[in-house]
Amino acid sequence: MKFGGTSVGDANCIQRATTIIETTAAQRPVVVVVSAMSGVTNRLVNAAQRAEQGEQDFISPLIVDLHTQHITALESLIANNARRAQTASAIREVLAELERLLRGTAMLRELTPRALDAISGIGERLSAPLVAAAVNALGVQAVAISATELIVSDPHHGRAEPLMGPTKNRATARLKPLLDQRIVPIVTGFIAATPEGVQTTLGRGGSDYSATILGAALDAQETVIWTDVDGVKTADPRLVPGAQTIPEISYNEAAELAYFGAKVLHPNTLRPVTAAGVPVWIRNSFKPENLGTKITAKGNSTGGGVKALTAIKDVTMITVGGPGIVGLPDVLARSFAATASTRSNVFLVSQSSSQNDICFVISSADEKRALAALREAFAPEIAEQTVEHVNTNPDVAIVAAVGENMRGIPGVAGRTFTALGRENVNIMAIAQGSSEYNISLVVEKSAMQRALTALHHEFRLSEFLVTTKG
């Protein structure tokens, strides 16, 4: 089970989390992964950047602040003085290390990716002993463990990937004996270590990934991600009031949704468990009576084929076109060489068979750089007018309908277009991958919400059963 930052955000939240841990541990062996208390990682990253500028004045107040935050929680969670003292000194030791790291960075005015990982991973090293102490206080044996002892990763700092073989060996050797004795390991999320023992991080939001890595390594029956939302929704409830929690969804569908902006999971989260077939639950630690969403291989396909909708609005559509591009065999290659050279994130590509123009949609944040690179790449053709334009349109949004069962159900595209036509939503471009897990449409930004509402209604997405335990 993994508890995210908001689920361990203060003493009350930790109390809720420990109750869930206690109930589960009474039934079967459980490994717990925790994030840093909410906001802590952001402060650490920010501190690292200030230290890089040579600033030192902020360091002592920051250490005092973090100390207060964690000790306050500790004091309200643990009555026993001796127990408290032990955990408090563990917390102080980690904070002393943080101080040395920040002062060292400030002195050198250099922040290597390795140092940034050491600094940004401190939050989990503070929260794990705290949560372990709180679980112990309930009379359930628990011990804080650093994931650097368990998850072996490559040395790609800031975005390390696990080496599953060695991870399986280490995690099993270290955790199985504890589980056999019914001791609950409370593991730091987010961090890992190279085979040489150098600490890395798995990328922001990486505690989800930590949980599924360990779930796969230990052959868990299931992995539960406890967070602050009810699960995966049929659409963003702020945009579509009738949006429901989806009871069951497939790995592919969930990954597609994560890619298209549903910010429930770290994008790599499902990778380790997809291979191992371990089901993943997304559940709300503030409403544990709700079952949440179960992510499985099959995903319990629903009748209409479409399971959920997503939308991304901070995007720009770029078209490269003109009659002359018909005869140019390398337009695609050169276009994407240009977007790749600027590391632009391309969400969607579409080209009509007349080949009169190609269009693709990228993050708005990448627009300026991508456009400059494209104009440069096609400068000769623009001069000769074989390519007549490289244009951008920032007033667009992508709306995507996702569902693995769309494959093989004819008419999903037809219903999509009819529903949008009825609502007068102009479709500017379309893409459907050959996997048929999703149909993506480019619409005007102003029509995004109308499009979502129309499709939600068309595919009867409000009719999912709301599953509530007990």
Whole-number minimum distance, CB 263 to ligand ASP, in Å?
12
Tell me how crowded residue 24 is: count the other CB atoms within 10 A of its CB: 16
Give me the least distance between CB of 181 and ligand ASP, in Å please: 28
Comparing C-alpha atoms, which of 298, 290, 305, 313 is closest to residue 232?
Answer: 290
Interacting positions 390-419 with ligand ASP (CB under 6 A): none
Q: Residue 189 or 292: which CB sits closer to ligand ASP?
A: 189
- In the bound state with ligand ASP, the residue whose beta carbon lies nearer, of 211 and 406, is 211
Q: Is 162 in the site for ligand ASP (CB under 6 A)?
A: no
Which one of Mg ion, ligand ASP, none is in contact with 36 (Cβ closer than 5 to 8 A by kind)? ligand ASP
* Interaction between residue 201 and Mg ion (CB under 5 A): no
State which H helix or E strand residue 132 sits in.
Answer: helix 122-137
Instruction: Tell me the number of residues near ligand ASP by CB under 6 A.
Output: 12
Give the residue, chosen from 6, 7, 35, 302, that forms a contact with ligand ASP under the rule CB under 6 A. Answer: 35
In the chain, how many H helices and how many E strands? 15, 16
Backbone φ and ψ for 374, nearest 5 degrees, come out as: -70, -45
Radius of gyration of the chain (CA): 25
Residue nearest to ligand ASP as judged by C-beta position: 207
268 binds ligand ASP (CB under 6 A): no
Q: How far is the CB of 141 from Mg ion (least distance, A)?
A: 27
Applying CB under 5 A, which of residues 5, 162, 299, 304 lies at the interface with Mg ion?
5
Residue 167: name its binding partner from Mg ion, ligand ASP, none (Cβ under 5 to 8 Å by kind).
Answer: none
Window of 33-41, 280-288, 341-349, 378-386 that interacts with ligand ASP by CB under 6 A:
33-41
Residue nearest Mg ion, CB atom distance:
5
Q: How far is the CB of 334 from Mg ion (least distance, A)?
A: 39
Q: Report, in Å, the least distance between residue 87 CB and ligand ASP.
A: 20
**Whether 293 contacts 232, CB under 8 Å:** yes
CA–CA distance, 21 with 182 (Å, rounded to integer): 12
Both tokens of residue 7? 């689920």
Assess 199 for contact with ligand ASP (CB under 6 A): no
Which of 35, 136, 252, 285: binder of Mg ion (CB under 5 A)? Answer: 35
Q: Which residue has the tokens 């969804």?
A: 249
| Contact predicate 59/106, CB 8 Å | yes
Check residue 272 for interaction with ligand ASP (CB under 6 A). Answer: no
Tell me how far apart the alpha carbons of residues 379 and 239 are, in angstroms, rounded to a whole number. 41
- Regarding 445 and contact with ligand ASP (CB under 6 A), the answer is no
Q: How far is the CB of 35 from Mg ion (least distance, A)?
A: 5
Give me the amino acid identity at 132: A
3, 190, 378, 464: which one binds ligand ASP (CB under 6 A)? 190
Q: Which of 123, 304, 322, 403 binds ligand ASP (CB under 6 A)?
A: 123
Backbone φ and ψ for 459, nearest 5 degrees, come out as -95, 15
Q: Which is nearer to Mg ion, 126 or 140 (CB)?
A: 126
Name the residue among 242, 199, 200, 207 with its Cα closest to residue 225. Answer: 207
CB atoms within 10 A of CB 72: 12
Q: Which of 29, 162, 185, 189 binds ligand ASP (CB under 6 A)?
A: 189
Q: Between 35 and 310, whose beta carbon lies closer to Mg ion?
A: 35
Closer residue to Mg ion (CB): 38 or 405: 38
In this structure, the dihedral spanned by the alpha carbons of residues 9, 295, 438 and 468, taken in order and rounded to 10 degrees, is -80
Q: Which of 129, 205, 299, 304 binds ligand ASP (CB under 6 A)?
A: 205
Task: Tell whether residue 207 is a contact of ligand ASP (CB under 6 A).
Answer: yes
Q: How far is the CB of 13 from ligand ASP (least distance, A)?
A: 14
Residue 272 binding Mg ion, by CB under 5 A: no
| CB-nearer residue toward ligand ASP: 193 or 311 | 193
Q: For residues 285-307, b (16+ Cβ closer than 10 Å) or e, as one string?
A: bbebebbbbbbbeebebbebbbb
How many C-alpha atoms does 114 have within 13 Å on its Cβ side?
Answer: 8
Q: Hey, what amino acid is at 79?
A: A
Q: Which tokens go with 441?
A: 């449409």
Q: Are strands 427-432 and 357-363 parallel, antiparallel or unpaired?
A: unpaired
Sign of the torsion formed by the C-alpha atoms of 237, 240, 246 and 250: negative
Q: Is 7 in the site for Mg ion (CB under 5 A)?
A: no
29 interacts with, out of Mg ion, ligand ASP, none, CB within 5 to 8 A per kind: none
**What is the distance between the alpha carbons of residues 14 and 37, in angstroms, rounded to a whole number?**
9
Task: Single out the residue of 3, 5, 73, 315 in contact with ligand ASP (rule: CB under 6 A).
Answer: 5
Contact region with ligand ASP (CB under 6 A), list: 7-15, 158-166, 204-212, 389-397: 204-212
Cβ(308)–Cβ(402) below 8 Å: yes
- CA angle 370–375–380, rounded 5-degree value: 150
Residue numbers at the binding site for ligand ASP (CB under 6 A): 4-5, 35-36, 41, 123, 189-190, 204-207
Residue numbers at the binding site for Mg ion (CB under 5 A): 4-5, 35
